[in-house]
Every structure is written in C-alpha cells, then in structure tokens.
Amino acid sequence: MGFPSPAADYMDEKILLDHELIRVPSATYFLRAGSESRSEAINKGGFAGSDMSATPVVGGDSDVLSG
C-alpha cells in the first residue's frame, strides 16, 4: 500500500495541449517539414502548425513545434 506522496498537495491539473495550442480546431493543420525551411525555426522533420483562421502577417511564420 505505502504512504501518500508529500507532493500530493502540489499536484496541478493535466495540461491539455489541444486546448493550449489550437484555437479553431476546424481551421488548424499540422505538417511535417520534408526539407529545411527558409526560416531557421523549422528543421527537416519538424512539425509546423498553421491556424488558417488567423490573419496573415507579412513576414510571419507559422507556430512551430520542434519534433
């Protein structure tokens, strides 16, 4: 059985990444980079997330998740 964890009082709720990263699920796409990007932020094999409902910004990049 054992003793209760002394850290039990400090436990937080689980972080749900879909709630944190995706504002509009029907307009969000994730892509895996097949080659090096023009941007240094996206490496070959990395994941890029794009929210198609967002207003485009000249020179802006997609949100990037390294993978």
CA angle in degrees (0–180, nearest 5) for 39-45-50: 60
Beta bridge partners of 50: 29
25 within 8 A of 49, measured Cβ to Cβ:
no
Residue 67 pLDDT: 44
Query: pTM (2 decimals)?
Result: 0.52
- The pLDDT tens digits of the residues spanning 2-42 come to 888 888 777 788 888 888 888 888 988 888 877 766 666 67
- Alpha-carbon distance of 38 to 43, in angstroms, equals 9
Helices and strands (H, E) in the chain, number of each type: 1, 3
Residue 61 pLDDT: 60
Confidence of residue 66 (pLDDT cuts 50, 70, 90): very low
Residue 37 pLDDT: 60
